[in-house]
Amino acid sequence: MKHILVTGGAGYIGSTLTGVLLDAGYKVTVLDNLLFRQQTLLEYCGNANFDFVYGDCRAEDALKPLLKTVDAVIPLAAIVGFPACLRDPISAQTINFDAIALLERLRSRQQQVIYPTTNSGYGATSGDVFCTEETPLEPISLYGRTKVDAEKLLLDAGNAITLRLATAFGISPRMRIDLLVNDFTWQAVTNGSIIIFEKDFKRNFCHVRDISDCFVHCLKHFDTMKNEPYNVGLNEANLSKAELAMKVKEQVPRFYIHYAEVGSDPDKRNYIVSNEKINKTGFHAKVTLEQGIRELIVGYRILSRRAHTNL
């Protein structure tokens, strides 16, 4: 049985991925500092193949003993997204990049790494031409730069696969309502209205379970896929913010959408992405935006219920 170390495994992607890995027959150890005080992994504690270590992925004392027994590492721990990195740039640099350099120094050459990076570095394009893995990644934000630098470090070192993930969507035990599809759906069901800037900017999306399945796909086909980056997204989900809002409106008809230039994206994300390379390895994302939006609508009935209101 293969043993996988997942750093940041209590997060949005990690708390779904952990269950998917266990179901696929892997032994899983999560290292996480529970930054959000999340209790998202409790349901796995009864599984003999699951273990949890509370700790910081930047600490050699925490990481080194865990690397003694694992076959592969999925380093998810990060300060995620440009606003969070702007708020805490030192953590962003040390967690997103320095901890990956530490992992690189400590792992054996046989230990495989599958690393999620962001495709937001493709951002400053016209939005008309499909970005492939050959398109240069030129991130502007600190978040994008730390992730792209870490990706380069791992690919240069070898025995690694990097996944340039589209923006994730869907319900996960640690919920993130700041992600675009999750945010638009949240606004629709809680406020009934939204103001959208850069409405024609195109983005791409992938369900959190598809992302988790893709990590399993990489573990299974590691030798034929290794030492390469892969875009990972849903082929039908390259669409503008305005088009996305209309998809939400199809399921929440009272949703009032207003467009105004009240902000701008630091990574200038206006891009469409080709998933042909990962598709050719046999992986296809399956969960549609319609299915994801429906799941979010149902999930938000649970999440929002009377948490911070008397109504």
> Which residues are at the interface with ligand NAD (CB under 6 A)?
7-8, 10-14, 31-36, 56-58, 76-78, 80, 95, 116, 118, 147, 165, 167-168, 174, 176, 179
Q: Tell whether the torsion through CA atoms of 9, 283, 250 and 82 is positive or negative.
A: positive
Do the bridges between strand 202-207 and strand 238-240 make them parallel or antiparallel, or are there none, so unpaired?
antiparallel
| Shortest Cβ 176–ligand NAD spacing (Å) | 6
Nearer to ligand NAD, 12 or 255 (CB): 12
| Shortest Cβ 204–ligand NAD spacing (Å) | 10
Cα 48 to Cα 69: distance, rounded to the nearest angstrom: 16
Nearer to ligand NAD, 187 or 204 (CB): 204
Nearer to ligand NAD, 206 or 245 (CB): 206
Burial of 303: CB neighbours in 10 Å, binned 0-12, 13-18, 19+: middle
Determine contact, residues 193/304, Cβ cutoff 8 Å.
Answer: no
The helix/strand/coil state of 245 is helix
Cα 280 to Cα 251: distance, rounded to the nearest angstrom: 33
Nearer to ligand NAD, 7 or 238 (CB): 7
Cα 261 to Cα 62: distance, rounded to the nearest angstrom: 46
Looking up tokens 């030798």 gives 223
Cα 47 to Cα 19: distance, rounded to the nearest angstrom: 10
Nearer to ligand NAD, 32 or 198 (CB): 32
| Shortest Cβ 137–ligand NAD spacing (Å) | 12
Find how far residue 127's CA is from the centre of its chain: 21
| Shortest Cβ 121–ligand NAD spacing (Å) | 11
| Shortest Cβ 294–ligand NAD spacing (Å) | 19
Q: Determine the residue with CB nearest ligand NAD.
A: 11
Nearer to ligand NAD, 259 or 288 (CB): 288
| Shortest Cβ 308–ligand NAD spacing (Å) | 21
Looking up tokens 């008397």 gives 310
